[in-house]
Amino acid sequence: MSDAIVEGAQCRPNFSAAGRRRRARVAQIGAVVAVVLFVALALVHAPWPLRLIVGLPAGAAFISGLQVRRNTCVAHARTGMFENDDFTTTKVDEAFAAASRRVAATIWRDGLIGMVIVAGIAALSAWILP
């Protein structure tokens, strides 16, 4: 487990470089799915309540992207674990786990805010792109 602090991090990372790549990939896929879903729903003139579902893949993209940006896996923060390169986990000390939980709370908060904003924009598009 690395004790290095990544520049811009609020705490030591609780996952390895392999975990970073996996989460970045999930963020990219979620963003693409959200855009494709938004366009598809606009093309079929879906009603505004149905367009809210665009927020789900967008929320996944936000959460995954924020985990990469803030060097903290929210699931591992909850359990107090570090994810190794082979995706096995190792228990961390309580101070490390507490710092990870604090960062994870901000990831959830900001990811959910992003999801709500995207869902709102998608719903409002029903009047702009009827």
The answer to whether residues 23 and 73 touch, using CB atoms and an 8 Å cutoff, is yes
The residues, any chain, with a CB within 8 Å of residue 122's CB and separated by 6 or more, are 38, 41, 51, 52, 54, 55
Q: Above 70 in pLDDT, residue 128? A: yes
Taking the C-alpha atoms of residue 8 and residue 1, their distance in angstroms, rounded to an integer, is: 19
Q: At what angle do helices 55-70 and 94-128 cross, to 10 degrees?
A: 150
Give this prediction's pTM: 0.85
Give the pLDDT confidence score for residue 10 in this predicted structure: 59
Domain coordinates of the chain in residue numbers? Answer: 17-128
Of 14-18, 22-26, 92-96, the range with the highest mean pLDDT is: 22-26
Give the pLDDT confidence score for residue 49 in this predicted structure: 96
User: What mean pLDDT, rounded, does the chain reach?
Assistant: 91
Q: Kind of pairing, strands 81-83 and 89-91? A: antiparallel
Q: What is the pLDDT confidence band of residue 12, given thresholds at 50, 70 and 90?
A: confident
